[in-house]
Structure 1
């Protein structure tokens, strides 16, 4: 069986930036020929800097996010029998990494399966990857809106999400998704949401308002930078108070 294939985040964005880089370089070459080397410098430098940002982002989507989530999941000291929910699981990068650590547990993924969010984004692709990773027996995927999760309250020991909630338009709608994530979390359970820009601090404020404990936000380092340190991935972590 072929190995797992996880695609690329925001493929149209990468394509657009690649075209812009090419446009700068072509413009620079034309200016060098028609005007002289000095005229070409601004366009060539701009294209090269943007190309560097593109390479850093490609590293984040193809390798970096896997490395940072490996470290995050290893740090949880899981028993192996937990029930986990991945919000916006895509083709399973985080979902299946978690499933490998749950030999007696269950890993459930919810997604809208939009190609603009991830290349080749379908439930069938996720299940093929689960078979390739040898964890299909403990993985289940379902289509669903993160603002209205199809699960009863207190259904999961762990809720995770990677680079998904920010795609929901509007702070109130994102807050609704975070509230739903907290609703389905069991007492004593943990929530880990990795996302971009200022949105992690939004989520932390919502969780604090819901009564979550140990709410924190931290950067995940250069491996999860999307072009520059100004567009970095941050992780929100929180715990639901234990019953009683």
Structure 2
């Protein structure tokens, strides 16, 4: 099998154009870039502290580039790898928490020819540019998986699904957006509740958050996902937690 062609078919899909997943936290990365440009311009206008200001501008602009690579390409590659590693059989029911415009949801759906990929989100434009159920469904159509994808407007801390409804629950940098620690742990509990016994929870999140999820569940050890999942630099690197619900 030609893996490069398979990857390309997943990216472009049935409509001939690739899904468009937007930018994570667009206001933040825009601010980062503006700060970098402003620092470089300030360095050009001043005599004292010019080197330090130029260096700061360079770091900010480099961080902006790393961030954009992650949100536009890197995270997609990482999730392709992690979903391949998960060894899905193809008939699972999978729930993606905070699905946004569907990057993980659709990557999973391509691996579920006889299964179902369900997305849940509150559709915040602050967390992802152009976020909305219409965009997610359009991306599913573009990827050729609209027949096995559905989306719901739902709060991660109170999911509208029955106990044991899913074989797999995924979440990519979404749970940490819940403002309170109690709310984040409630979302983790909800994820475990809707998993069937033996089902798997796959979460990508900032290391301090993922560590707390693992401690709360009493199992799992977050592992770093590497430079392709850095939101600006290693100080904002994303880790991966894989937990199996006890039978």
Q: Report the TM-score when normalising by structure 2.
A: 0.92
1:119 to 125, 129, 132: 129
How far off its partner does 1:241 sit? 1.5
Mapping for residues 31-180 of structure 1, pairs under 5 Å: 31=46, 35=47, 39-180=49-190
* Deviations, residues 168-187 of structure 1 (Å, cap 9, x unaligned): 01111100000000000001
Mapping for residues 25-36 of structure 1, pairs under 5 Å: 25-31=40-46, 35=47
Counterparts of 1:63 and 1:111 in 2: how far apart (Å)?
A: 22
Cα RMSD (Å): 1.0
226-235 vs 144-153, which moves further: 226-235
Asked whether the 8 Å contact 1:11–1:119 carries over to 2, the reply is: yes
1:14 to 4, 8, 29: 29
Larger radius of gyration: 1
Asked whether the 8 Å contact 1:83–1:157 carries over to 2, the reply is: yes
Partner of 1:222: 227
* Deviations, residues 25-70 of structure 1 (Å, cap 9, x unaligned): 1101111xxx3xx642111111001111111111110111001101
Unaligned runs of 5+ in 2: 1-14
Asked whether the 8 Å contact 2:207–2:222 carries over to 1, the reply is: no
Aligned residue pairs total 232
Counterparts of 1:19 and 1:53 in 2: how far apart (Å)?
A: 12
Counterparts of 1:74 and 1:90 in 2: how far apart (Å)?
A: 21
Asked whether the 8 Å contact 1:12–1:116 carries over to 2, the reply is: yes
The secondary structure found in structure 2 opposite 1:189 is strand
Structure 1 runs of 4+ aligned residues shifted over 6 Å read: none
Asked whether the 8 Å contact 2:20–2:139 carries over to 1, the reply is: yes
Unaligned runs of 5+ in 1: none
Asked whether the 8 Å contact 1:179–1:206 carries over to 2, the reply is: no
Counterparts of 2:180 and 2:131 in 1: how far apart (Å)?
A: 23
Counterparts of 1:220 and 1:25 in 2: how far apart (Å)?
A: 31
* Deviations, residues 191-222 of structure 1 (Å, cap 9, x unaligned): 001001400001101211xxxx6x22111111
Asked whether the 8 Å contact 1:194–1:233 carries over to 2, the reply is: yes
Partner of 2:243: 238
The secondary structure found in structure 2 opposite 1:230 is helix
Partner of 1:194: 204
